[in-house]
Amino acid sequence: RQRVVVFISGGGSNMMSLLNATTDPSYPAEIVAVFSDKADAGGLAKAADRGIATFAFLRKDYDSKEAHEAAILAELERQAPDIICLAGYMRLLSGAFIGRYEGRILNIHPSLLPLFPGLHTHQRALDAGMRIAGCTVHYVTEGMDEGPIIAQAAVPVLPGDTADSLAARVLTVEHSTYPLALKLVAEGRVKMEDGRAVIEDPVAQ
């Protein structure tokens, strides 16, 4: 099974959805560790409860972004992940970091990219009068939320929606979309080539 390290900054519900998927022995990936840049991220305790190794390095404990990332990279050397999954990790990785794991870092973003990258995505979708919203799993490249798209799922925007109610609806499809996307990557059925996600034609199998 492919070794996965999950990066979180918060509650970690996406991390838990990945962890739950990996409990099926036929799933092609396993989570070997969870990293957070926040010591109090709720997801850290949830992962530890399930017997997963956790580590936290806080940005404020380092003089520079480079030093912070060096600490993370050193621990990653030990964990030897094949794939890194960002799951609510709210910090941009440097080009040097991404280059070290080129084509092997995934992220989930709660919008239908390329619409609404970055913060406040749900409010911006509502302000734009969108009638659908959704989530995107994509390869991480240097541009924020810009990498090649692996999988997406859509939900309706309903009358009376607030950013919170829309976020909650999108989150429910995040929890099925991320395990699906990770499965495709772990099985080698999708790859990043020349800046695009190349997905194997299921008919050609």
Catalytic residues: 109
Indicate whether 109 belongs to the interface with ligand GAR (CB under 6 A): yes
User: Tokens representing 159?
Assistant: 């009358």
Stretches 3-11, 62-70, 76-84, 94-102: which one binds ligand GAR (CB under 6 A)?
3-11
Q: Which of 4, 5, 8, 149 binds ligand GAR (CB under 6 A)?
A: 8
201 three-state secondary structure = coil
65 is in an annotated binding site: yes
107 is in an annotated binding site: yes
Instruction: Name residues whose C-beta falls within 8 Å of residue 191's C-beta, 6 or more positions apart in sequence.
Output: 103, 197, 198
Question: Closest Cα partner for 89 from 10, 171, 174?
Answer: 10
Indicate whether 149 belongs to the interface with ligand GAR (CB under 6 A): no
Bridge-based pairing state of the strands 29-36 and 2-8: parallel
C-beta closer to ligand GAR: residue 10 or 28: 10
Task: Let me know how many helices (H) and strands (E) the chain has, helices first.
Answer: 6, 9
Indicate whether 28 belongs to the interface with ligand GAR (CB under 6 A): no
Question: In angstroms, what is the minimal distance from the CB of 202 to ligand GAR?
Answer: 26
Instruction: Name residues whose C-beta falls within 8 Å of residue 116's C-beta, 6 or more positions apart in sequence.
Output: 124, 125, 128
Q: Which of 18, 72, 88, 157 binds ligand GAR (CB under 6 A)?
A: 88
Question: In angstroms, what is the minimal distance from the CB of 192 to ligand GAR?
Answer: 19
C-beta closer to ligand GAR: residue 81 or 88: 88
91 is in an annotated binding site: yes
The answer to whether the CB of 52 falls within 8 A of the CB of 31 is yes
Instruction: Tally the residues of the chain.
Output: 205
The answer to whether the CB of 29 falls within 8 A of the CB of 190 is no
Q: State which of positions 158-197 bind ligand GAR (CB under 6 A).
A: 171, 174
Q: Which of 2, 4, 6, 12 binds ligand GAR (CB under 6 A)?
A: 12
Indicate the helix (H) or strand (E) that contains 73. helix 65-79
Indicate whether 14 belongs to the interface with ligand GAR (CB under 6 A): yes
Question: Closest Cα partner for 18 from 87, 73, 64, 71?
Answer: 87
C-beta closer to ligand GAR: residue 7 or 27: 7
Tell me which residues touch ligand GAR (CB under 6 A). Answer: 8, 10-14, 43, 87-88, 90, 108-110, 171, 174
